[in-house]
Amino acid sequence: MINSLGLEKKPNQTRVVVAMSGGVDSSVVAAQLKTEGYEVIGITMQLYANTSFKSKPGKCCGGVDIKDAIKISSDFNFPHYVFDYQSEFKFGVINDFVESYHSGLTPVPCIKCNETVKFSNLLDAAKNLNADCMATGHYVRRTTGEKGIELHRALDETKDQSYFLFSTKQDQLEYLRFPLGHMKSKSETRIKAQDLGLNIADKPDSQDICFVNGGKYADFIKNLSHTSNEPGLILDKNGVELGSHDGIINYTIGQRKRLGISSTEPYYVLEINPLTNSIVVGRRVDLITKKFKIKEVNWLGDNSFVDSPTDGWPLHVKVRSTRPAKSAIIYPIDRKNGEVAITEYEEAIAPGQACVFYEKDSSRVLGGGWITAD
């Protein structure tokens, strides 16, 4: 007998750990699995001290969220544990976030959190609880292909979170389950929450970066950083001085506002150079990129990444979570590095962001890598 989690066990003989953030999605997963008869254990990460902004709507893993997760577990009568990962989160996510901005990069902390805490520490905790698998509320699909487990985009592409899970390893996919990936819309999830009697059915989704108050990244970095944020020069492509900036942490590639340069045509940030503490600007046409390099490649294809066709891997890629995938050719340099040639072009490709691979004419995720400044 194959149960709904793809295991050859009856639900009441299957122990599943659910990673509960305290939000609607993971709460629906936990409650639904318990209703189906599974032996559910809820676990929640405590990632930071319970300061006031962590408990506001639109944040996750704060004081209110932990209380919501505990209440769901109590209402549905399954055990729940809170694991303190504050030090791991600070080291793997917050410190990386701060250091990236000081290095002129534009980080994606949600990917780093999945990579260094959720699918590392939390997954190990699930295994230590002797769970058969760990389920999350992510909107992605896990399917069984001809050569093993595959990661696919969610059925509802407006909620798809595959961009943030590109670094998930094959052995992790074997253990993970994503019950919401087949939902047709978020409204369907909320209706399910109402049907299950969850008191958080209308709770707002998480927004922005969970540990930054009000989206003020620069203020957050200044408060934590031991490195001074010195003003410097704004230059054009030819090295001509056009103005000055108030610290490179205040800027990202493609930024147009708050440059303080008088011009009949807008300027955009093209490059951030931490070594010279300078910012290079140009016109919008200068943001167009057709080739760039990637590092720390995580490949989820059936064959080895380096065993590409002679003319490279013909795939689709996303360079930002909110942008549509575009046709590209991936040329492996070695098993962890490559070059991406976009068939058309992209604008404002920012080092530090992820480039995620998708199989052409398919929903399958084939991994990805981190965009470099080289």
Q: Which of 61, 133, 210, 355 is catalytic?
A: 210
pLDDT value of residue 61: 61
CA 278/CA 235 separation, integer angstroms: 7
Q: Catalytic annotation on 133?
A: no
What CATH class does 287-371 carry? mainly beta
pLDDT value of residue 10: 96
Tokens of 94: 């917050």
pLDDT value of residue 53: 38
Tell me if 228-282 shares its fold with 287-371: no
Which regions in the chain score pLDDT beneath 50?
51-55, 58
Q: Which of 60, 61, 113, 355 is catalytic?
A: 113
Residue 190 C-beta-side C-alpha neighbours within 13 Å: 9
pLDDT value of residue 60: 62
pLDDT value of residue 50: 55
Separation in Å, CA 357 to CA 89, 115, 171, 307 = 26, 17, 19, 16
| CATH placement of domain 228-282 | 2.30.30.280
Q: How many CB atoms lie within 10 A of CB 308?
A: 18
| CATH placement of domain 11-214 | 3.40.50.620
Q: Catalytic annotation on 355?
A: no
CA 118/CA 40 separation, integer angstroms: 18
pLDDT value of residue 223: 83
Q: What are the boundaries of each domain within the chain?
A: 11-214, 228-282, 287-371
